[in-house]
Structure 1
Amino acid sequence: MNKLIFLQANATQPSDWVLFFGHFHPLIVHLPIGFLLIAGLLEIDRLTRRNSVSPHTITLILFWSAVSATMACVFGYMLSLGGGYDTETLNNHKWEGIGVAAFAWIAWAVKSENLGRVIPFAQLMYLPALGVSLLLLLAAGHQGGNLTHGSDFLTQYAPGPLRTLAGLPSKQKEFKAEPITDVNQAMVYKQIINPILQTRCVQCHNADKSKAGLRLDSPEMIKKGYEDGPVFVAGKSSTSEMVKVCLLPEEDDHHMPPKGKSQLSEGQIALLTWWIDQGASFDKKVSELAVNDAIKPVLASLGGSGSTNASSGSGIAAMGPAPESPVLTMKVPAADPKVIEELKKTGLLVLPLSKEQNQLEVSAVNARTYNDAQAALLPKLSNQIVWLKLGETDISDATLAQLSKLKNLQKLHLEQTKITDAGLKQLKGLANLEYLNLYGTAVTDAGLAELTNLKSLKTVYLWQTKVTAQGLATLKKTMPKLDVVGGIDEQAVAAFAKANSASEKPDESKKN
C-alpha cells in the first residue's frame, strides 16, 4: 500500500526538464516588463510632445514584448508545478500574466496594421490594449512579489507617516529572542527552538507565505504539519521531516533552508534533533528533559549555566561549557601554499580554521565528484587539516587509508559515501577524532566495533546505516560516554540491553 502511494505521488511530480525550464521564469519575466514600459513611454512622448517616433520601432518593441510575455507565461506555469505557493495568489498572478501577453499581442497586431485589414476601426483598440497590458503588468508584478516575498513585501518597511496615510496596520516588531540567563530554567521551545525557526524557517513558512502548506510561526501550526503530513514525529528525529530536510545536500531541491538562504549550524540542527527526541514539548524547561553529553556544550553556549541537580541526569552541569578540544589550541607549522593550490584544483575548499594556529578546514561541498585518486593529496597537509568534509562524494574505503595519516583530524564528515566497515579499520590511528558522521553509509555492527579504537570520539551520526539495536547496545556498553545520533531508536537499544542483561543473570531457582 505504501509503495503504491509513493508511486502515485511520484507520478504527479513534474520532470526535471519542466522544473529546469521553469526556473528561468524570473529571468524571462523581466523582458516584457522592459519592452512594454519602453513602448508606453514612447507613445506618451509621441502624444504629448508630438515627437515623431518610427512606427516600425514601436511595432518591433511590441512584438518582442508579446513574445517574451508568452514565454514568461509558459515558464511560469512550469515553475508553478513545483508547488509551495499560495493557490489564490498564484491563480491571480497566472491570469494577470496571460492577460499581459494577450493584450500585448493585440497592441502589436493593431500597430503593425495586420488587425486593421480584418477588423474595421481596429486602430481605436491600440491605446486601450497597450494601457490594459501595462496595468496588468503592474498587477502581475505585485502578485509575483507576493508569491516570492510575502504579501507585505512592499509595505514591510514603510515609515510610520506613510503607514498612517495609507491606512496600513502598525509595523510588526522584529522578532527578538528572549535572553537566557540560566539555560537550565530556559523554556525549550520558546527560548531555544522558536528563535531557530524564526530566523531560519519562518520567512518561507508563515501566515502570508506557507510553502508546501507548512507554517512554523506558532506551536499550533507546527503541530498541524504540512500538506503531506506531520513535520515531526515526537521521539523520533531520524524520521522527522523537520530534521531530514536540513540534512539533505544543499543542492537538493528539498533541502531546507533553500540554497542561498542562511543555513542552520550544526549546533542548531543538534538542538532540533534533541528537542524532537525528547518528545517535542512546547511547555517544558531544559531541566525537565534528559540532556546527553553531546548537547550539553551546545546548550551551555546559549547562556548562563546556573545550578543543577547532578543526580537527576538532566540539566547542564554547573561547570559550564565543555572545555575546548586540545587539538584546536595546538599550533602547527604553516601549510605549503603550493599544496593548498593543488587541493583547490581538485575542487576542494580550503579555509583557515585558525590563522594563529595555522589549522585548516577542507570541504568538498562543491566537489561532488571528488574521488580516491584525488584524496592522495590530503596527507601532504597531515598536520594542518583539523576539519574534513567529504560527505556526498565518490570516495570509498581507499580514501580512508589516506585519512589515517591526518593525525590532528578532529571532525570528519563521511555521510552518504561508499565507505564500509573495512574502511573504518583505517581510522584507528586518529587519536584526536571527536566527531564522525556516517549518515547514509553501508556501515554495520562490525564497523561500530572499529569505533572503540577511537578513544577521543564523542559524537557519531548513524542515520540510515545498517547498524542494529544489538550493535548499538554493545557500542554504548563499551563507550558509555559516546553520543550516538540517529540509528536505532534509543528505547529499542535500552530494551535490548535490558533483555540481554537479564539473560546473563543466573536462574535463582536453579542456583538454589
Structure 2
Amino acid sequence: MTLLLQAQPSDWALFFGRFHPLIVHLPIGFLLIAAVLELDRLIRGRSVSPHTITTILFWSAVSATLACLFGYLLSLGGGYDEELLDEHKWQGIGMALFAWVAWVVKSERIGSRLRMRQLIYLPALGLAVLLLLSAGHHGGALTHGSDYLTQYTPEPLRSLAGIPPRTVAEFKAKPITDVNQALVYEQIVNPILQTRCVQCHNAEKAKGDLRMDTPDFLKKGGEEGPIFVAGKGADSRMVKYCLLDESDEHHMPPKGKPQLTPEQVTLLSWWIDQGASFDKKVADVQVTDAVKPALASLGGGAAPGSGAVALATAGASAASPQPVSPVLTMKIAPADATVVDALKKLGLLVMPLSKENNQLEVSAVNLKTLTDAQAAGLAKLADQLVWLKLSDTQITDATMATIGKLKNLQKLHLERTAVTDAGLRQLGSLTYLEYLNLYGTNITDAGLANLAGLKSLRTVYVWQTKTTEAGIAKLKQALPNVEIIGGMSANTVAAN
C-alpha cells in the first residue's frame, strides 16, 4: 500500500489545513438542512421561503469549497493512504460542485433563466448529499481506519449489509503471570504501542510516513529516519517526543489523545537501552532500578504493595535480589502543587514513581540549559524527591549544596556536568543514596574519597572521569558492597 509523499509544506499551509475538521462540519449542516426542508416540501406539502433555501445552499457551497481547500492543505502533511485520500478528495470536490449547481438553479436571479431548472435542482441536491455522506465516511476512515463505522456491526445487520465477519480481533495483550518470563517486546512494549501509538501510525494512516504496528515497520522508522537507536533510549525520538511538554507540536501522542504514563515511558526507554530486542525475555536483559517499579505495575512477579519488583538481573553478580530501598515505600506527604508547577514551567519533568506513594522523579532531559539558580527550587521537594536526573545541564558545585538537602534521594545522575570533587562533599547527608552517575565529569580520586561515608551507596559510574584504579580500590575498601563501574561503553552507562 503506497503512501502519499510530498515535499515539506510551509507552516502556513499546515496551519490552515488544521482548520479542515472545523470547516467541514458547516456544509454537512447546511446541506442536510436544505435536503430536509425540500423533502418535507415534497412529502407533506410544507414549504419555506425559496430565499431561505437559496441562502442555505449558498453557504453550503461556500463552506464546502473552503473545506476542500483546507482539506488539500491538510493532506500536504502526508501520512495518509493515497487511494483513500484521492477518493475522499474527489468526493468532496464533487459535493462542493453539486452544491453550487443546486444553488444556481434554485436562485431566483440566475435559476429563473434556466429552462430545465426543476429537472436539474433535485438531482443536484441529492447527489451533493450522497457525496457528502460518502466523503464523510472516507474522512472518518482516513482518521480512524477503514472499518471505524462498521467494526462493531452486530449480526444480523452485518450479514444483511454484506460486511465480512470480524476476522481481526481487537488487540488484547497476552497476560503476564511471571514478569521474569515475559517477552519484553510482545508482552510489555507492543501493548503500549498498540494502545497509544498505532491509532495514528498504521497501514491506513501513517503520520510522518511512520508505522508502528509491526516490528519491521518499527525498525524502519519514518520520514525523519529511525525512531529509536538501540542502546540509547534517552537519545531516541520514540522516547524524547513522549517527554516533551504536551503543548509542543512534536509531543507524542498529540494533545487530546490518551497519553503514556510515566511507567510506560520508563518501559519504552528501558527496552531501547537494553538493545531493543524483539525476542528476549525480561530474564535475558538487565533490569535496572529505574524500571523495577514499572515492571511491578504489570502484574505477575510484583511484591504486593511494595511499588518495586525483585527481579534477577541477567549477568548480575548477586545471586539474590537486592532489598527494596525504604524510601520507595515510606509514607511521605504530597508535594506542594505550586512548587511542582513552578518546576514544570521551567521545563523540568516532575513525575510520580507510583500511584500509591508520593515519591517523585525530576528529570532535566528537556532542559539542558538548567542553571544553579533554577535548580535551587529543588530544595522545596526535599521530602518527595527520590530520583534526580541532571545529566548534560549547566549546573556546577553550587547546585550540590541544594542536592545535599534532598534527604530522601536514592538515585542521582550528574553525567557530563561541571561538578567537581568539592561538590561531592555536599552529599554526605544523603543517607539513602544508592546510585550515583558521574560519567564524563572531572571527578578525581579525591572526589571518590568524599563518598566513603555514604553507607547505602551501591552503584557508582566513573567512566571517562579522572579517577584511577587506586582511588576506586580505596573506595571499595571503605564500601565493600559498592559496585564502581568504569572503563566501559557509553551505552552501558546510559542503560541506567
TM-score past 0.5 threshold: yes
* Contact residue 400 and residue 423 of structure 1 kept, 8 A: no
* Contact residue 141 and residue 147 of structure 2 kept, 8 A: yes
Structure-2 change in CA distance of 1:116 and 1:292 (3 Å) = closer
Structure-2 change in CA distance of 1:469 and 1:11 (3 Å) = farther
* Contact residue 332 and residue 384 of structure 2 kept, 8 A: no
Of 228, 253, 257 in structure 2, the residue corresponding to residue 257 of structure 1 is 253
What is the RMSD of the two structures over their aligned residues, measured on CA atoms? 4.3
- Distance in 1, matches of 2:20 and 2:161, equals 32
The question of 1:312 aligning with 2:287 is answered no
**What is the CA deviation profile of residues 75-121 of structure 1, one whole-angstrom value per residue up to 9, with x for unaligned ones?**
22232233332222222222221222221111111111344466553
The TM-score, its normalising length taken from structure 1, stands at 0.72
- Distance in 2, matches of 1:370 and 1:143, equals 40
1:145 Cα offset (Å): 0.5
The question of 1:39 aligning with 2:34 is answered yes
Matching residue's letter, 1:278: Q
Q: Give the match for residue 428 of structure 1.
A: 404
The question of 1:398 aligning with 2:356 is answered no
Equivalent residue of 2:156, what SS? helix
- Distance in 1, matches of 2:226 and 2:33, equals 49
Structure-2 change in CA distance of 1:331 and 1:229 (3 Å) = closer
Equivalent residue of 1:141, what SS? helix
Q: Give the match for residue 340 of structure 2.
A: 362
Structure-2 change in CA distance of 1:265 and 1:482 (3 Å) = farther
1:73 Cα offset (Å): 1.8
**What is the CA deviation profile of residues 326-354 of structure 1, one whole-angstrom value per residue up to 9, with x for unaligned ones?**
6850458xx9xxxx8xxxxxxxx56xxxx
1:369 Cα offset (Å): 7.5
* Contact residue 247 and residue 255 of structure 1 kept, 8 A: yes
* Contact residue 288 and residue 314 of structure 1 kept, 8 A: no
Equivalent residue of 2:340, what SS? strand
Q: Give the match for residue 440 of structure 2.
A: 469
Q: Which moved further from structure 2: 170-179 or 392-401?
A: 392-401
Structure-2 change in CA distance of 1:163 and 1:43 (3 Å) = same
1:458 Cα offset (Å): 5.8
Matching residue's letter, 1:236: K
Q: Which moved further from structure 2: 61-70 or 288-297?
A: 288-297
Matching residue's letter, 1:46: R
Matching residue's letter, 1:469: G
Give the alignment of 1:142-153 within 5 angstroms: 142-153=137-148
Of 214, 218, 239 in structure 2, the residue corresponding to residue 222 of structure 1 is 218
- Distance in 1, matches of 2:202 and 2:421, equals 42
Matching residue's letter, 2:405: G
Give the alignment of 1:357-506 within 5 angstroms: 362-364=340-342, 368=345, 387=360, 397-410=372-385, 420-421=395-396, 424-425=399-400, 426-434=402-410, 444-446=417-419, 450=423, 453-454=426-427, 455=430, 456-457=432-433, 469-470=440-441, 481=458, 496=464, 501=469
- Distance in 2, matches of 1:292 and 1:369, equals 28
- Distance in 1, matches of 2:295 and 2:319, equals 8
1:323 Cα offset (Å): 4.8
Q: Which moved further from structure 2: 284-293 or 467-476?
A: 467-476
Structure-2 change in CA distance of 1:263 and 1:310 (3 Å) = closer
Structure-2 change in CA distance of 1:451 and 1:188 (3 Å) = farther
More helix by percentage: 1
Q: Which moved further from structure 2: 110-119 or 300-309?
A: 300-309
Structure-2 change in CA distance of 1:385 and 1:186 (3 Å) = closer
Structure-2 change in CA distance of 1:275 and 1:44 (3 Å) = same
Give the alignment of 1:75-154 within 5 angstroms: 75-116=70-111, 120-154=115-149
Of 133, 147, 150 in structure 2, the residue corresponding to residue 155 of structure 1 is 150
* Contact residue 29 and residue 72 of structure 1 kept, 8 A: yes
- Distance in 2, matches of 1:19 and 1:111, equals 36
1:51 Cα offset (Å): 2.2
1:396 Cα offset (Å): 5.4
Equivalent residue of 1:231, what SS? coil
1:450 Cα offset (Å): 4.0
* Contact residue 442 and residue 465 of structure 2 kept, 8 A: no
- Higher relative contact order by CA 8 Å / sep ≥ 6: 1 or 2? 2
* Contact residue 396 and residue 417 of structure 1 kept, 8 A: no
Structure-2 change in CA distance of 1:241 and 1:90 (3 Å) = same
Ranges in structure 2 where 5+ consecutive residues have no aligned partner: 303-308, 349-356, 474-496
Matching residue's letter, 2:340: V
- Distance in 1, matches of 2:249 and 2:32, equals 34
**What is the CA deviation profile of residues 259-302 of structure 1, one whole-angstrom value per residue up to 9, with x for unaligned ones?**
12221122211211121121111111112112222223332443
Equivalent residue of 1:160, what SS? coil
Matching residue's letter, 2:331: T
1:71 Cα offset (Å): 1.9
1:250 Cα offset (Å): 1.2
Q: Give the match for residue 327 of structure 2.
A: 325
- Distance in 2, matches of 1:173 and 1:445, equals 54
1:140 Cα offset (Å): 0.9
The TM-score, its normalising length taken from structure 2, stands at 0.74
- Distance in 1, matches of 2:393 and 2:271, equals 31
* Contact residue 22 and residue 79 of structure 1 kept, 8 A: yes
Give the alignment of 1:12-27 within 5 angstroms: 12-15=8-11, 17-27=12-22
**What is the CA deviation profile of residues 439-496 of structure 1, one whole-angstrom value per residue up to 9, with x for unaligned ones?**
9xxx723279747745345678x9xxxx973559999996974588xxxxxxxx75x4
* Contact residue 420 and residue 442 of structure 2 kept, 8 A: no
* Contact residue 396 and residue 419 of structure 1 kept, 8 A: yes
Matching residue's letter, 1:261: K
- Distance in 1, matches of 2:395 and 2:86, equals 50
- Kindly, what percent of the aligned residue pairs are identical? 52
1:226 Cα offset (Å): 2.0
- Distance in 2, matches of 1:227 and 1:285, equals 31
Q: Give the match for residue 183 of structure 1.
A: 179
Matching residue's letter, 2:408: N
1:407 Cα offset (Å): 3.1
Aligned residues: 441
Structure-2 change in CA distance of 1:68 and 1:189 (3 Å) = same
Matching residue's letter, 1:221: F
1:240 Cα offset (Å): 2.1
* Contact residue 294 and residue 459 of structure 1 kept, 8 A: no
